[in-house]
Amino acid sequence: NAGVTQTPKFRVLKTGQSMTLLCAQDMNHEYMYWYRQDPGMGLRLIHYSVGEGTTAKGEVPDGYNVSRLKKQNFLLGLESAAPSQTSVYFCASSYSIGVGNTEAFFGQGTRLTVV
């Protein structure tokens, strides 16, 4: 099992460029999450999904869009990158059906720099 895989691992963008981050999980998890992590600020939730075809806003959704067309994939898009979006992005997934099994498992992160 690969678990949660994020693509790419590193990327440098110019201001105004667009890109898509891909998260893939092979654990048949229902819930998927996108977070950003900045120094001293912990993990902040951008968007999340509770199932295929559904998405919802988290704590810091502005400037990002997401899609979950397939259960195993969760895409995070930046339409017009800004320097404030320089961060490390983490994807996570969890089973979260019924009682128990609610913990999320994380990918290794994507380090994005916007210049």
Partner 1 sequence: EDQVTQSPEALRLQEGESSSLNCSYTVSGLRGLFWYRQDPGKGPEFLFTLYSAGEEKEKERLKATLTKKESFLHITAPKPEDSATYLCAGLGSASKIIFGSGTRLSIRP
Q: How far apart are CA 30 and CA 71, in angstroms?
A: 7
Stretch that binds partner 1, among 15-23, 41-49, 66-74, 75-83 (CB under 8 A): 41-49
Measured from the CB atom, the residue of 13 and 48 that comes closer to partner 1 is 48
User: Per-residue b/e over 11-27, b at no fewer than 16 CB within 10 Å?
Assistant: bebeeeeebebebbbee
Taking the C-alpha atoms of residue 24 and residue 4, their distance in angstroms, rounded to an integer, is 6
Of the two residues 49 and 85, which places its CB atom closer to partner 1 in the complex? 49
Whole-angstrom distance, CA of residue 85 vs CA of residue 114: 7
Q: Which of 23, 36, 107, 114 binds partner 1 (CB under 8 A)?
A: 107
Rounded Cα gap, residues 88 and 75, in angstroms: 15
| CB of residue 72 to partner 1, shortest distance in Å | 18
Of residues 15 and 56, the one with the C-beta less far from partner 1: 56
Question: Which of 21, 66, 104, 114 lies at the binding interface for partner 1 (CB under 8 A)?
Answer: 104
Q: Applying CB under 8 A, which residues contact partner 1? A: 4, 31, 33, 35, 40-45, 48, 50, 56, 58-59, 90, 92, 94, 96, 99-100, 102-109
